[in-house]
């Protein structure tokens, strides 16, 4: 059987056609032959560069990304699930036979969100300034991801392989549900909110069960755990370009604004500025938001070059 080393468009282009179902029967045979020789360099029909492309492309092609993310309840992701059915089955087959690729790290920048379809058909939507780490062995024996930041999860049920999110000192375990995790590093409180289903949160040496509309807040400084409730319609509403400053201090709002807008903010406060605010904005020009905050909180602000300087009501300047 003739298996030429080079193919029109190269190994990466042929692999893409194969994964998308557009390869001819002869091309399918070519790719399957390549897979069979991945661990036999002497007999492989691929050059070292093509072998590297093939191995590194597996996980990257299994996980689909779209930017910006679409609203969760439009269910637009179903189209991606159908398109990637072959990716999922192929990825599972390869995980059991070949050395896994390095962990996948997905990050979002200032003011951006990203939606991912994981190999198990679970959906993850990342908020701005967040990082998600997906282990190379994801789905083989367990489903574990690590989150720094905020994300909304819609988990595909699989009782044999519970889905776990590690975020800071907490671990949230689910069997099939939709929930939001907020866990930015740097002293902010971690928060889990369940939109549907049930999760278990391991925090401070204890396990807490959360069901529909329930929330858990973890104080990173004291280790205090507080359970509460929230309207399902408000959970994960940042996906609809809503800024929800629920229980935020001035410092917390300034930090979030820097995640959502390409600006640098310098905040001047005093020890007396301990108030927490419940304010909700639709994402718009940052100066409009600051004008509203000035009326509600008494802050004043000015802009110097690319920096916004904010003074609290109690700060003399």
CATH number for position 141:
2.60.120.1440
The answer on 179 and 98 residing in a single domain is yes
Q: Per the domain annotation, does 14 fall within a domain?
A: yes
Q: Is residue 249 part of a domain?
A: yes
Are 57 and 73 within one domain? no
Residues 91 and 181 in one domain: yes
**Which residue in the block uniquely carries the two structure tokens 């059991």?**
96
Whether residue 126 sits in one domain with residue 57: no
Q: What is the pTM of this model?
A: 0.67
pLDDT digits (tens, 9 = 90+) for 74-130: 344 444 444 444 444 455 544 444 455 677 899 999 999 999 999 888 999 999 999
Which of 238, 262, 297 terminates a domain? The answer is: 238
For 268, list phi and psi in degrees, rounded to 5. -115, 120
317 belongs to a structural domain: no
**β-strand partners of 304:** 307
Q: What is the CATH number of the domain that holds 272?
A: 3.55.50.30
Collapse the DSSP code of 145 into the 3-class scheme (helix H, G, I; strand E, B; otherwise coil) and give the result.
strand
CA distance 76 to 257: 28
CB 228 within 8 A of CB 215: yes
Mean pLDDT confidence for 252-267: 94
Whether 103 and 46 share a structural domain: no
* 216 within a domain of the structure (yes/no): yes
SS3 125: strand
Q: 280 pLDDT exceeds 50?
A: yes
What pLDDT score does 131 carry? 96
Alpha-helical (H) ranges within 165-311 are 250-260, 286-297
Same domain, 77 and 175: yes
My answer on whether 250 and 214 are in the same domain is no
pLDDT digits (tens, 9 = 90+) for 17-50: 766 667 787 777 676 666 555 544 554 555 555 5
Q: Is residue 292 part of a domain?
A: yes
272 burial type by CB count under 10 A (0-12 exposed, 13-18 middle, 19+ buried):
exposed
Give the domain-ending residue among 205, 238, 271.
238
34 shares a domain with 152? no
- How far apart are the two ends of the chain, measured CA to CA in Å? 82
Distance CA 106, CA 50 (A): 24
pLDDT for residue 69: 45
CA dist 260 and 281 (Å) reads: 12
233 plus 246 within the same structural domain: no
Choosing from 36, 61, 86, the residue where a domain stops is 61
Note down the domain range covering 54. 1-61
Please state the rounded mean pLDDT for residues 135-157: 91
Q: In sequence order, which residues have a C-beta less than 8 Å from that of residue 41 and are 6 or more positions away?
A: 48, 51
Which of 46-55, 142-151, 213-222, 238-247 is predicted most confidently? 142-151
- CB of 113 closer than 8 Å to CB of 106: no
Q: Are residues 234 and 88 in the same domain?
A: yes
Nearest to 149, CA basis, from 129, 169, 135, 134: 129
The total number of structural domains that make up the chain:
3
Closest CA to 286 of 270, 310, 268: 310
Domain membership of residue 194 (yes or no) is yes
Contact 183, 148 (CB under 8 A): yes
Query: What is the percent of the chain with per-residue pLDDT over 70, rounded to a whole number?
Result: 70
Q: Are 131 and 152 in contact (CB under 8 A)?
A: no
Residue 316 lies in a domain: no
Model pLDDT for residues 54-72, shown as the tens digit of each residue? 544 444 444 443 344 444 4
Q: Distance (Å, rounded) from C-alpha 252 to C-alpha 270?
A: 14
Is residue 14 helix, strand or coil?
helix
Compute the half-sphere exposure of residue 40: CA atoms within 13 Å on the CB side of its CA.
9
User: Per-residue pLDDT averaged across 273-280, rounded?
Assistant: 91
38-42: Cβ within 8 A, 24+ apart: 38/98, 39/98, 39/99
pLDDT value of position 246: 85
Give the chain's length.
Answer: 317
Model pLDDT for residues 149-206, shown as the tens digit of each residue:
999 999 998 888 989 999 999 999 997 789 999 999 876 789 999 999 999 999 988 9
The pLDDT value recorded for residue 72 is 40
Same domain, 263 and 234: no
Contact 83, 126 (CB under 8 A): no
Backbone angles phi, psi at 280, to 5 degrees: -125, 135
27, 120: one domain: no
């Amino acid at each position: 059987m003739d298996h030429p080393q080079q193919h029109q468009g190269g190994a990466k282009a042929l692999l893409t056609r194969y994964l998308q179902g557009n390869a001819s029967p002869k091309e399918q045979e070519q790719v399957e032959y390549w897979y069979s020789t991945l661990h036999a360099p002497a007999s492989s029909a691929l050059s070292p560069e093509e072998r590297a492309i093939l191995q590194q492309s597996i996980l990257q092609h299994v996980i689909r990304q779209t930017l910006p993310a679409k609203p969760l309840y439009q269910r637009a992701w179903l189209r991606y699930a159908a398109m990637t059915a072959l990716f999922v089955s192929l990825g599972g087959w390869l995980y059991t036979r070949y050395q896994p690729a390095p962990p996948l790290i997905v990050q979002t920048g200032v003011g951006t969100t990203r939606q991912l379809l994981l190999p198990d058909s679970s959906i993850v939507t990342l908020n701005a300034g967040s990082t998600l780490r997906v282990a190379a062995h994801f789905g083989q024996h367990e489903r574990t991801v690590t989150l720094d930041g905020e994300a909304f999860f819609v988990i595909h049920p699989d009782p044999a392989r519970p889905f776990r999110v590690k975020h800071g000192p907490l671990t949230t375990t689910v069997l099939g549900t939709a929930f939001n995790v907020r866990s930015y590093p740097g002293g902010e409180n971690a928060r889990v909110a369940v939109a549907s289903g049930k999760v278990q949160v391991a925090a401070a040496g204890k396990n807490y069960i959360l069901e529909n509309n329930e929330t858990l807040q973890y104080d990173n400084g004291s280790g205090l755990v507080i359970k509460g409730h929230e309207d399902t319609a408000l959970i994960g509403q940042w996906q609809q370009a809503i800024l929800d400053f629920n229980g935020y201090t001035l410092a917390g709002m300034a930090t979030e604004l820097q995640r959502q807008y390409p600006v640098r903010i310098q905040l001047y406060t005093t020890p007396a500025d301990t108030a927490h605010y419940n304010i909700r904005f639709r994402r718009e020009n940052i100066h409009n938001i600051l004008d509203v905050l000035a009326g509600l909180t008494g802050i004043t602000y000015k802009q110097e070059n690319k920096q916004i300087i904010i003074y609290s009501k109690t700060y003399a300047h």
